[in-house]
């Protein structure tokens, strides 16, 4: 993707990101009969940390964000959302490649969770993530550096 850049989330209103999350999750949550916009919004805001959040821009346009948490034994990709109009253009894959490069340099695996039935599952698998386990709602993935 051309002109993709990542910046700090310092100074952005977290409500903007919460709204982006709600819209990004809407199709998958509606498909499993669990869409509640207020719950999706509040769940994000309850754990929001600007220090862990990075904004994704195409040129000067905010197209998404991700939340990455460094833990002692792994890197946790807590959220990654790209606006629907910008999906399929390589932004998500570019971000994951960058995260995988960071993990490789640190010698740590990357872990994440995806809603079962979401198209994100195929995307993560195509990026080398392996599903370790599933529960009633989510699939849990790991990517190991080589």
pLDDT of residue 117: 84
pLDDT of residue 37: 86
35: helix, coil or strand?
A: coil
Domains of the chain: 4-143 (3.40.630.30)
Element (H, E) at 90: none
pLDDT of residue 1: 55
Give the number of C-alpha atoms closer than 13 A to the C-alpha of residue 140, restricted to the C-beta side.
7
- Give the whole-angstrom CA distance, residue 112 versus residue 13: 25
Cβ-count burial of 137 within 10 angstroms (0-12 exposed, 13-18 middle, 19+ buried)? exposed
- Please answer whether residues 96 and 135 qualify as being in contact, where contact means their C-beta atoms are separated by less than 8 angstroms: no
16: helix, coil or strand?
A: helix
Q: What are 112-135's pLDDT values in tens digits?
A: 999 898 889 999 999 999 999 999
Ranges of residues in the chain with a pLDDT under 70 are 1-2
- Give the whole-angstrom CA distance, residue 74 versus residue 5: 24
Other beta carbons less than 10 A from residue 103's beta carbon: 21
Angle at 49 between CA 44 and CA 53, to 5 degrees: 90
pTM here is 0.91
pLDDT of residue 93: 95
């Amino acid at each position: 993707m051309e002109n993709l850049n990542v910046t700090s989330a310092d100074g952005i209103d977290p409500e903007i990101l919460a709204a982006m999350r709600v819209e990004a999750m809407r199709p998958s949550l509606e498909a499993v009969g669990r869409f509640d916009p207020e719950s999706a919004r509040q769940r994000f805001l309850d754990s929001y940390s600007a220090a862990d959040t990075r904004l994704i821009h195409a040129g000067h346009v905010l197209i998404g964000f991700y939340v990455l948490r460094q833990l002692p034994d792994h890197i946790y990709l807590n959220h990654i959302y790209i606006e629907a109009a910008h999906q399929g253009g390589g932004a998500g894959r570019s971000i994951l490649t960058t995260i995988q490069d960071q993990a490789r340099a640190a010698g740590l695996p990357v872990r994440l969770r995806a809603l079962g039935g979401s198209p994100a599952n195929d995307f993560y698998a195509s990026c080398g993530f392996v599903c370790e386990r599933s529960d009633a709602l989510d699939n849990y993935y790991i990517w190991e550096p080589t």
